[in-house]
Amino acid sequence: MNKLDRVVGQLLRAIASFCLAALFILLFSSVIARSFQLASFAWLDEVVRGLFAWMVFMGSAALWRERAHFRVDWLEQVIGQKRAAPLLRAFLAFLSLGFMLAMTWYGWELTARSSAVTPVLNLPTGLFYAAIPISGTLMMIYSLRDLFESIADVKAPFSTMMKEK
């Protein structure tokens, strides 16, 4: 399972990195081409929109996997390592799971219902939207991991207290 997790992490980072590199190359080329009036790329906006969507959502899933996503941890720091800390982490993981479920559900609906195609390349817009349910599903899996780990941390002090009696 750890090997699969590492492969997923590497794949998510690779997709996000590829999209970033492609965006840089395409936008740099476009600026150069327009500056010297060499060419205009009518299809550029479509490709940039798709690459940006995949970069953002796959990058977010990669950060979520590593627990490196931006978050406000003020309350966690106030509580510290007291008995309530695992309960707070479990509650936050549960809330995250709910949000990821909603994001995945509505992302899937958006992807499934999209019938439009891009004007120049005739790409289905669902290709761009597919990043939402894919990343949402992965983030739900990692939210479940966090929830189960938090629940185990909540149970640990009670099992220790029961053994002492």
Q: What local confidence, expressed as pLDDT, does residue 86 receive?
A: 86
pLDDT along the chain (165 residues), means of 10: 94 98 95 86 92 98 93 82 84 94 98 95 96 98 94 70 52
Are 33 and 39 spatial neighbours (Cβ–Cβ below 8 Å)? Answer: yes
Helices 131-164 and 84-113, packing angle to 10 deg: 160
Q: CA 110: distance to chain centroid? A: 17
Give CA separation, 148 vs 27, 95, 97, 119, 120, in Å: 43, 13, 11, 46, 47
- The rounded distance, in Å, linking the Cα atoms of 19 and 24 is 9
- The closest of 134, 158, 125, 145 to 60, measured between CA atoms, is 134
Q: What local confidence, expressed as pLDDT, does residue 19 receive?
A: 98
Q: What local confidence, expressed as pLDDT, does residue 26 receive?
A: 95
Q: What local confidence, expressed as pLDDT, does residue 82 receive?
A: 78
- The rounded distance, in Å, linking the Cα atoms of 17 and 32 is 22
- The rounded distance, in Å, linking the Cα atoms of 139 and 101 is 9
Condensed to tens digits (0 to 9), the pLDDT of residues 76-112 reads: 888 877 778 888 889 999 999 999 999 999 999 999 9
